[in-house]
């Protein structure tokens, strides 16, 4: 499988790139403003510039890659119903996925592999995947809004927003792209390894998944650095973690 396919990178350029509209007038912020409100005000202040939302899916599962997405929305083509992907039905996520792909100014979906997760740890692998998503955009944003409490190292300004996937539309859009992409990957993986039930839990450590690990041992797509998988490797075979070279 090629690096581009493995990374799941995808981006599109909007037709016509005119001069960006003038920046919005900065809002006054009271001394008692909460951190969340300040983050939302920041988003409003730079809304006229190219701002991308960034989110990840798959930090907690025992199998499969961690998938990230970066999205620059088009103010002229709003998308109704954007929200945290976890709060949407699979059918609604799929419908919004198609709208985002069609209407966004730019988007990129990227990932860090199981080998990279085992080598770097899940946090650093997630930061690497976020870098890949932002750097893969067909247009360079002036600001990256990151879901969570920390930012990857990026060539532009970045702001972490806790629960941003439920507050900032661009982050919601990124959450949806990442979630739909990863769910599709794990459902496809179920065809090759039906004994684990990936189509049901998409890699998370449910009772069924843990029982399958005890009965069958891990497959090549399980994360050896995660405790339940490591324990299964110790029972069924030698635990070996491939070392990989990190590339930004």
pLDDT, mean of each 10-residue run, the chain (248 residues): 38 36 41 56 56 98 98 97 95 98 98 97 98 98 97 97 96 98 96 94 96 92 95 75 41
pLDDT for position 128: 98
Can you tell me which residue has the tokens 């919004």?
96
Give all strands (DSSP E) within the chain, no chain letters.
Answer: 51-57, 66-72, 106-112, 143-147, 157-161
> Does the annotation flag 55 for ligand binding?
yes
Residue 28 DSSP label:
P
CATH for 51-189, options being 3.40.50.10490, 3.30.420.10, 3.40.640.10, 3.40.390.30: 3.30.420.10
Distances (CA, A) of 236 to 43, 209, 213: 50, 16, 10
Segments making up each domain of the chain, as ranges: 51-189, 193-236
CA-CA-CA-CA torsion for 171, 97, 81, 159, nearest 10 degrees?
0
pLDDT for position 234: 87
Residue 55 DSSP label:
E
Beta bridge partners of 106: 72
Chain centroid to CA 4: 16
> Does the annotation flag 231 for ligand binding?
no
pLDDT for position 121: 97
- CB neighbour class for 247 (10 Å; exposed up to 12, middle 13-18, buried from 19): exposed
Nearest to 71 by CA among 142, 154, 183, 171: 171
> Does the annotation flag 165 for ligand binding?
no
Nearest to 205 by CA among 58, 57, 86, 61: 61
152 neighbors 52 (Cβ within 8 angstroms): no
């Amino acid at each position: 499988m090629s690096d581009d396919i493995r990374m799941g990178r995808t981006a599109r350029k909007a037709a016509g790139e005119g001069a960006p509209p003038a920046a919005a007038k900065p809002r006054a912020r009271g001394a008692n403003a909460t951190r969340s409100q300040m983050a939302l005000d920041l988003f409003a202040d730079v809304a006229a510039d190219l701002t991308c939302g960034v989110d990840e899916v798959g930090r907690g599962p025992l199998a499969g890659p961690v998938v990230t997405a970066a999205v620059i929305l088009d103010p002229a083509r709003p998308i109704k119903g954007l929200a945290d992907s976890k709060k949407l039905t699979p059918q609604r996520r799929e419908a919004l996925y198609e709208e985002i792909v069609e209407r966004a100014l730019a988007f990129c979906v990227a990932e860090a592999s199981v080998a990279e997760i085992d080598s770097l740890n899940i946090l650093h692998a997630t930061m690497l995947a976020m870098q890949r998503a932002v750097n893969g955009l067909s247009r360079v944003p002036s600001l990256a809004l990151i879901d969570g409490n920390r930012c990857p190292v990026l060539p532009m300004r970045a702001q972490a927003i806790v629960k941003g996937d439920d507050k900032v539309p661009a982050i919601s859009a990124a959450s949806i792209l990442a979630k739909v992409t990863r769910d599709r990957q794990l459902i496809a993986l179920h065809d090759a390894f039906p004994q684990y039930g990936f189509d049901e839990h998409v890699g998370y450590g449910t009772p069924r998944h843990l029982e399958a690990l005890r009965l069958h041992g891990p497959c090549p797509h399980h994360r050896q650095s995660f405790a339940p998988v490591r324990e299964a490797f110790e029972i069924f075979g030698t635990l070996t973690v491939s070392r990989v070279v990190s590339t930004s």
